[in-house]
Structure 1
């Protein structure tokens, strides 16, 4: 992944993960797999787990420990009302920024 992609993802990965949790609760490895399935193959698992700790601390998700067939219980993350509000703000911000960037791009062509 290029430097620009890495820098842009730093500012958007939280919103991307919250968006993944809209559909259904998931545990860390599932979230990482969903990101990879969507083309974010170079995101390290450690990055995702650190982000999950942050969104839990911010109160954007509810966490339940669910027994695992292999090893210790899994932490399953569910988007809550605060997370939904944060995601809505993310989408409004994304729409604003992407519209401004599109304007700049069309002026340069």
Structure 2
């Protein structure tokens, strides 16, 4: 068993776990409940960690996690109705609620 990574967010670690599970890679989350003692220990030692059960899956798991982390967000877009610029992750204009399509 090898430690793959840690993160300050349990949501991120669970996302990684779901990604790995969908690819047939068994893993475990450790330090899941240590956030409650943050301040008593160095904060990075309380972060949740994801561990790959089978060492032979470690390289593939690393590549999968990197591919998720390296994804760039969608490009910003300009609303056709009101002309406002919107960040790429939004499907509707923040100003007038017009669809990005």
Q: TM-score range by the shorter chain?
A: under 0.3
The TM-score with structure 1 as length reference comes to 0.27
Between Structure 1 and Structure 2, the one with more helix by share is 1
Q: Which structure has the greater CA radius of gyration?
A: 2
